[in-house]
Amino acid sequence: MQQLAEDFWNFRGHHRIAGVLDVGTQMSLIRRANGRYLLIDSYAVDEDDRARLLAQTGNGDLVEAIINVHPFHTLHCYSMHQLLPRARMIGTRRHQQHAPTVRWDPAVIEDPATQQQFREDLDFSTPDGLDLVTSDDKVHAASVLVRHRRTGIVHVDDTLNVLAAPGWLGKLLPQSRLKFHPMLGKALKPTPEAADAFASWARALAARWADTPAVCAAHSAVRRLQPGDWQREVLRALTDVEPTLERHRKAHL
């Protein structure tokens, strides 16, 4: 449990593929203007982080909602539901379908009306031109991005990545800049407008959230930014995927 700002904490956890490769996972805790708390994403915290989380939130009673923003991140939802059974459990439509043992709130986070309930504290953005859920379970390029309005910190799963070496190597080797998900091309909607819609969304997000001081990225790391870095790195990430976007444009003339 790492405190990044007065009202923002980030948890980094373990997620092993085939029981071997640890690609990591994350969850963020935000204190609302009303003094209560929101969790962004779910992670089955270890004993130490569980104690810190419960101590910070009045034994969990002050957690209003757990907001799960990536449709394919379902593994830890039941654990958080058990730990904080009184909190609203909000996810995407896919969460409700693929984690049926959780008592889900009927609202879904990709719905603007649901997002509006948290507008005092959070800004949300879902990429234009991408399918939030594709038919290929390996394509995780789209998610609902979250920005804490008071601190400016962004929490994002997969849509924007930071490449960082694991363990002690991470202290020696530099992080990458922000990058869009490598399977972006497979998430683009099969329409002529999709590539341009995504590019327009990315440029607008770079400008609108320009003063972002840090990005909590799954699965790898927290990336701290200097003034102007967010806009520069998002626009450069867009430049990197332009060949993918151009191929999509030509394929859907």
| C-alpha to C-alpha distance for 214 and 224, rounded to whole angstroms | 4
pLDDT at 14 over 70: no
β strands within 158-228, DSSP E: 160-161, 179-180, 214-218, 221-224
Residue 163 has a pLDDT of: 76
Give 221-250 pLDDT, tens digit per residue: 899 999 999 999 999 999 999 999 999 999
Helical H segments across 86-164, by residue range: 93-98, 112-116
Residue 138 has a pLDDT of: 87
Delineate the domains of the chain, giving CATH numbers in brackets. Answer: 2-251 (3.60.15.10)
pLDDT grade, residue 83 (50/70/90)?
very high
pLDDT grade, residue 111 (50/70/90)?
very high
Q: Per this entry, what is the length of the chain?
A: 253
pLDDT at 19 over 90: no
Structure tokens at 239: 């430049």
pLDDT at 21 over 70: no
pLDDT grade, residue 76 (50/70/90)?
confident
Give 192-201 pLDDT, tens digit per residue: 999 999 999 9
pLDDT at 176 over 70: yes
Taking residues 164-183, what's their average pLDDT?
71
Residue 20 has a pLDDT of: 43
Q: What is the mean pLDDT of the chain?
A: 91
Q: Which range has the worst mean pLDDT, 1-5, 24-28, 152-156?
A: 24-28
Residue 16 has a pLDDT of: 47
Q: What does the buried/exposed string (b/e) look like for 41-57 if buried means 16 or more CB atoms within 10 Å of the residue's CB?
A: bbbbbeeebbebbbebb
* 98 contacts 73 by C-beta, under 8 angstroms: no
Taking residues 46-53, what's their average pLDDT?
95
Which 3 state secondary structure label does DSSP give 194?
helix
Residue 170 has a pLDDT of: 54
pLDDT at 25 over 80: no
Q: Specify the amino acid at residue 154.
A: V
